[in-house]
Amino acid sequence: MNAAPTVFETKALNDHPFIYSAFHTEDRLKKRSKLKRKRKSEIIYPESDGKPMADNTVQYKKIVMIKENLERLFAHDDHVFIAADLFWYTVKGNIHKKLAPDVMVAFGRPKGDRRSYLQWKEGNIPPQIVFEILSHNNTTSEMKEKFNFYEQYGVEEYYVYDPDKVKLEGWIRSRNQLEKIVNMNGWVSPRLQIRFDISQDDLEIYYPDGQKFLSFIELDEERTKEKIRADIEKVRADTAEEMLGYEKQRAEQESQRAEKEKHRAEKESQRAEKEKHRAEKESQRAEKEKHRAEKESQRAEKEKHRAEKAEAEMAILMAKLKALNVDR
């Protein structure tokens, strides 16, 4: 490596423009060559193999349905990464140790976009769950290679679905190897807690709460139904609120009417009480009048007896006078 020019050399180069230009041209060429060597030493990990994600619409729909429903299942967990048809590189520096699972789930890794899954940049955490959806182009040897790869590099749950045969196979890690699950119908994934059901026509997958995995169209229809139900509930709630307001208003009116009736009844009671007192006074006055009349009657009777007695006495006296006159 050439040393940087000294102050005197720099002055000399500045004084001779041709020498200066040649020196800097050589310097730029050396830097460019060094940059090229550095770039050559960097390994480029391809992001695509040029093959389509799916070979037919059935395979594509199933891949998308599984991937998007799993995204929905873990929408509120920022440390679950889910991808479809993304290259997973297992060994740094080796571009051949890779596969692109139809769907993969990596717990403990943040959500976000990736050009590929470079395991050494992901805390050395491999995807724990892998799904493969078969098409007519998948060969037995290809699927055997995939199985060996997933078993070697730490996949915990591996599921393979053949839409043409409506056949689901599964393997779960035990003692550092993938062991086949005997009965997949009704199987619940230990990691995902989703349930697999094999019907006569297709594979059905259910959320932990029992809801079915839905396609985009079914999800859109479900959202539309939910919106309609929500609108109906809102109308019901608004109507109930209006009725509640009406009932409240009617109750307030009834309360006011009852209060008025109470005041009127109290006034009537007070008036009746006054009438009672007045009647009692009238009764007492009548009783006094009765006693007074009885006394007057008794007094009149006495006066009558006295008058009759006086008249009788007078008659006796007159008779006596008359008898005296006759005798003379």
pLDDT beneath 50: ranges in the chain? none
- Chain centroid offset of residue 228 CA: 17
Q: pTM for the complete prediction?
A: 0.62
What local confidence, expressed as pLDDT, does residue 27 receive? 73
Hey, where are the domains in the chain? 57-213, 233-283
What local confidence, expressed as pLDDT, does residue 134 receive? 97
* Neighbouring residues of 103: CB distance < 8 A, sequence distance ≥ 6: 63, 66, 67, 70, 82, 83, 84, 130, 131, 133
What local confidence, expressed as pLDDT, does residue 59 receive? 95
d(CA 24, CA 42): 27
What local confidence, expressed as pLDDT, does residue 257 receive? 92
What local confidence, expressed as pLDDT, does residue 9 receive? 53
Tell me: the pLDDT tens digits for 239-286?
889 988 889 999 999 999 999 999 999 999 899 899 999 989 998 998
What local confidence, expressed as pLDDT, does residue 32 receive? 72
CATH topology of domain 57-213: tt1808, chain A (3.90.1570)
* Neighbouring residues of 135: CB distance < 8 A, sequence distance ≥ 6: 54, 55, 56, 59
Print burial letters for 126-143: b (CB count within 10 Å at least 16), e (below 16): bbbbbbbbbeeebeeeee
What local confidence, expressed as pLDDT, does residue 148 receive? 98
The Cα angle at residue 147 between residues 81 and 87, in degrees rounded to 5 = 40
d(CA 200, CA 248): 57
